[in-house]
Structure formats: C-alpha cells, structure tokens
Amino acid sequence: LTGYVEKPDLKGLLDRRARIMLPEQGEYAYVATMEALRNAGIEQDYINAREIGILYGNDSSAKSVIETNNIIRDKKDTMLVGSGSVFQTMNSTVTMNLATIFKLRGINLTVSAACASGSHSIGLGYHLIKSGLQDCIICGGAQEINKFSMGSFDALSAFSVLESAPEKASRPFDRDRDGLVPSGGGATVILESLESALKRGANILGEIVGYGFSSNGGHISNPTVDGPVRSLQRALKDAGMPASQIDYINAHATSTPAGDSSEARALHEVFGGSKPLVSSTKSMTGHECWMAGASEVIYSMLMMQNGFVAPNINFENPDEESAKLNIAKTTIEKDIIVFLSNSFGFGGTNSSLIIKNYPK
C-alpha cells in the first residue's frame, strides 16, 4: 500500500539540462515551490533583487542512487550514468536544484531529520528571520515515492498489511492500527518577516509564533514520551502561550502502535487540562515522511482559513491512551485561532510548530 502522486510533466517549464538534474522528489518540490511563490505574489524579478534563501527537508535519494549503481554494475562504465546523476543522488539535491533554478542568493541548506525534516526546515527558517539574518526563505519538504525509498521501512514491520481494505489501513490512534501507509510529494511554504510581507502587500496566511524541538536521546527507532513533551513545552514557551490557547493539534500519529501511544501520552501530559481537538491528517494522506512536517502545516492552515477541523478517519475504537484525547472522528466546524503541528523522526528528533491566524 502506498499513496499515489502523479509525476509532474516539466517539459515547457524547465529546459532539458535542468530536468536531468532533478530526481523524483525534486520534481515534486519544484512544482510545489512554483505554486507557493505564485500564491505569495513573488516573481523572479523580486527574487533577483534580494537575498532569498531556501531551507528544505529531504532525507533520501534512494531511487537515483540505486539506478546509478545498477548502470555502473551492468555497464562496467561510470561515464554512462549521465551528467545529472551526481546531482540527483545527493540528499541536498532539492535545495541545490531549486537554488539554481530560482537563482536564490540567501541561505541554501538541506534539513535531513527523518520524518521531522519538513517541520524543522520551517522552524529553523522562522528563527533565521526572527533573528534578522534573512527576510524571506523558501521552506518545505519533499518525499520520493518508490519501492527503493520505502522498501527498507518494511524491515521494521512498520507498514500496514490491511491490503484487503486499503481505505481503512491508515488508522492513527485506533486500537486496531497495524502500521503506516507510506506516501509523499512536495510541500512548500514561503516564510517572510512581517515587515517585508506588509511592505509588498503579501497575502499573509498565518504567523509562526512558536517552534519547539528536542531529542529523545535513546533508542534509534523506539519513541519516548519525554522527548515530545519537551518539544511541546518549548514551543509553548517560545510562543508565550499557555496550553489552553491551542485550538487544534495536527498530531504526528502515523498509525503505528508504539508511536501513536507515546504521542497520545505526551499530548495528554501537556494538554490534558484543556483538551484541544486532535486529529492526524495522515489518516487520509498516509505518512508523507520527509515532506509531512511541511504538508501538515499547510493542511492545518487550510482548516484555519476555512473554519473546520479535519477528521481522524478510521478512529473507531480508542485504546487506553487515545481515549484521553479529544480526537475529531468527523469533520467539525470550528474557528481556529492557533494550531500546533507535531513531527517526530527516527533518531529521536522532535519538532513542534505553533501557528496563529493572521487577522485580515
């Protein structure tokens, strides 16, 4: 089971030389970034006149690496891999390609932090802008969708095996969850200082007010409660907000037994007194891995703009931990002023972002 994303047709958008440098996830990131820049009202002339940066999450180029290796092994000639191969196979492929295509002259850095990559890219961009080092940064995350990048997850028995009912396979927080459904694509947000955005009359979608981070400091894949709790508390402290001010939480919950349970315990420890609405959009999208931290911020902003909380579908039977949370089983009409988005990754990396509605 996996999510499906249509391969972009970039002919007519990029010349051949640029196209052969881009791996699958780079193509997704390019299309998402084009859309984000258009939505932000930023044109190439504006970029050319300023030091706009890029911080983008990516943690694999598995397909490009394996295909290159196959050519070298089968043909016995490294010259036959093609001139674009070396650029496709690096983890920094997305930032190096987009920085070249869009002629970016600010920070140029890949954030490689497993399934928290996209979220950390936004949090780090927020801090760079807050500190006055940059005015505008392209942030996001991209994930390739192929057997080479996803197959190794199966060695951990992390995938759902509910192939007879694929629409029921991703069931975060449900008692009968049996694993995640992998997915991917590209998600881009444009971060900008308020002064810069107001000056050019930008369409402001939301304001980042808090970023929390932590490391579990334990097992490479087994989750903890303490690590996420510290990330959540740091985000609230950074935002200067009590837990009761959070209206909605888009949980990391991927539909794995251990991961969802530990996050539910962490959320209850921090938000048990206020019980904000919680859902995992992964129940509908699958787990978009390196992209998820960015895409889930976008999904949550859509909810904030349109006054609703998206459901945690397939949540039919709570377990002991999830029963303590206020999980949205169906779409709920609600004005969201402040939301929090969680992203956690292998190695114990945790990221929590708090975003506030910007009054028009």
Residues 129-150, mean pLDDT to the nearest whole number: 96
- Domains assigned to the chain: 16-199 (3.40.47.10), 207-356 (3.40.47.10)
Q: How far apart are the first and last CA of the chain?
A: 42
Q: What is the pLDDT of residues 285-318, one digit of tens each?
A: 999 999 999 999 999 999 999 999 999 999 999 9
Q: Is the pLDDT of residue 154 over 90?
A: no
Query: Which pair of tokens denotes residue 283?
Result: 């129940």
Give percent of the chain with pLDDT exceeding 90: 94
287 is catalytic: yes
Q: Is the pLDDT of residue 19 over 90?
A: yes
Give the pLDDT confidence score for residue 156 in this predicted structure. 86
Q: Is the pLDDT of residue 40 over 90?
A: yes
Cα diameter, the chain: 64
Give the pLDDT confidence score for residue 284 in this predicted structure. 98
Give the pLDDT confidence score for residue 174 in this predicted structure. 99
Q: What is the pLDDT of residues 168-184, one digit of tens each?
A: 999 999 999 999 999 99
Catalytic residue from among 139, 252, 268, 289: 252
The per-residue pLDDT of the chain, averaged, comes to 97
Residues 16-30, mean pLDDT to the nearest whole number: 97
> What confidence tier does 151 reach under pLDDT thresholds 50, 70, 90?
confident
Cα 198 from Cα 358, distance rounded (Å): 12
The torsion angles phi and psi of 72, rounded to 5 degrees, stand at -60, -40
115 is catalytic: yes
Cα 343 from Cα 116, distance rounded (Å): 5
Catalytic residue from among 136, 139, 287, 289: 287
136 is catalytic: no
Give the pLDDT confidence score for residue 30 in this predicted structure. 99
Catalytic residue from among 115, 136, 139, 289: 115
CA distances, 203 to each of 178, 190, 360 (Å): 41, 11, 9
Angle, helices 117-130 vs 292-306, to 10°: value is: 70
Give percent of the chain with pLDDT exceeding 70: 100
> What confidence tier does 83 reach under pLDDT thresholds 50, 70, 90?
confident
Give the pLDDT confidence score for residue 196 in this predicted structure. 97
Residue type, 60: S
Least confident window among 1-10, 203-212, 233-242, 320-329? 1-10
Give the pLDDT confidence score for residue 153 in this predicted structure. 81
Q: What is the pLDDT of residues 198-252, one digit of tens each?
A: 999 999 999 999 999 999 999 999 999 999 999 999 999 999 999 999 999 999 9
- Report the predicted TM-score, pTM, of the whole model to 2 decimal places: 0.96
> What confidence tier does 360 reach under pLDDT thresholds 50, 70, 90?
confident
Residues 89-93, mean pLDDT to the nearest whole number: 95
Strands (E), 2-111: 53-57, 108-111
Residues 266 and 259 sit within 8 Å (Cβ to Cβ): no
Buried b (16+ CB within 10 A) or exposed e, 18-34: beebbbbbbbbbbbbbb
